[in-house]
Amino acid sequence: MSRLGAASEPARVSRAVLEAVARLSDPEAVVFDDEAEAHKAEVRPAEPPEWRDLGEGLVVVKPSAFDESLAGLVVSAITYSASSGGAGVILDGRGGDGDGFEGVERVISHFISADVFLYVVQDLGGRELDFRSTARADRASVPLIYLVDEQTRGAAELLAVLLQEHRAGLVLGRPTRGDGVIRRTWPLPDGRFVRMASAVLALPDGRTWRGRGVTPHIRVEGDEWKRPEFRPEDMARGKRPLDPERRRHLEVFIQTRQDAVLARAVDILLALQSLSGSRAESESTP
């Protein structure tokens, strides 16, 4: 073996040991060759959030990232829904990530009381570092359904945890990632950088979702709620046209038929809206 080969062998062993130690602490740790590469991986291209008005006061919002803009986006969706029929908001957290934990706190503050202890930040040894609570905020006037899947992590997963824990909204889809940590980038002795867990998120009683994730209130797998293809003539039954309400509902279903999870969420919100309207009508009848 050449002197160069002999010298490089310990370096390779050292690199492997550093990576192994990092991933022992955090299986999803990522090692970067230099600071520029690490920064590039952390900074995502800015994309506009998706916003869909389905009609009937149904608004679907998919954030570009779960960051500081999250609360404003959700509040504007709530306001719009309430002013245009009030069926509710569907927030799409499938594939969601991000470190906008304060944005999540502001969102949940619109669905539960102020000054409620939400979660705690712990170091990797379990020592408590910070306590987070709700802020004072106007109460949301429409229901919220939150869509999740196996790629929901970070701040997006925290929102699912809090909605379930406080019965503040319906979580629907597939079990989440089970991430439950805060990550930061650290320099390594060999000049590389590693992004790995620096703290763990936990509920006030110490429960964490790291490694197990969040099981939705309603689990939707595959295409079991996928709509069949609709044709224009389906908007009428024989020669008798559908009444206006059913026609509007069918138009909503047509828009969501390719997405089984979203279609199920639409079903639920329209059913709740219908029940609420029937109840209000019966209460107003002498």
Strand 170-173: give its sheet, edge to edge.
50-55, 58-62, 88-92, 144-148, 170-173, 218-219
Is the distance from CB of 118 to CB of 158 less than 8 angstroms?
no
**Dist. CA 46–CA 64, nearest whole Å:** 7
Report the amino acid identity of residue 130.
D
- Digitized pLDDT (tens) for each residue of the chain, 286 residues in all: 444 444 455 556 566 777 777 778 888 888 888 888 887 777 766 678 999 999 888 999 999 889 889 999 999 999 999 999 899 999 999 999 999 999 999 999 999 999 999 999 999 989 999 999 999 999 999 999 999 999 999 999 999 999 999 999 999 999 999 999 999 998 888 888 889 999 999 999 999 999 999 999 999 976 555 555 655 555 555 556 666 666 666 677 777 778 889 989 998 998 898 887 644 444 454 5
**Dist. CA 150–CA 246, nearest whole Å:** 34
Cβ neighbors of 130 (< 8 A, separation 6 or more) are 120, 121
Is the distance from CB of 148 to CB of 158 less than 8 angstroms?
no
Cβ neighbors of 228 (< 8 A, separation 6 or more) are 257
Q: Which residue has the tokens 């490694």?
A: 211
**Dist. CA 58–CA 90, nearest whole Å:** 8
Cβ neighbors of 257 (< 8 A, separation 6 or more) are 226, 227, 228, 229, 230, 263
| Residue 56 phi, psi dihedral angles, 5° rounding | 65, 20
Q: Are strands 128-133 and 117-122 parallel, antiparallel or unpaired?
A: antiparallel
Cα atoms in the 13 Å half-sphere on the side-chain side of 179? 27
The tens digit of pLDDT for each residue in 242-276 reads 666 666 666 777 777 788 899 899 989 988 988 87
Q: Which residue has the tokens 């089984």?
A: 260
Cβ neighbors of 190 (< 8 A, separation 6 or more) are 11, 14, 15, 18
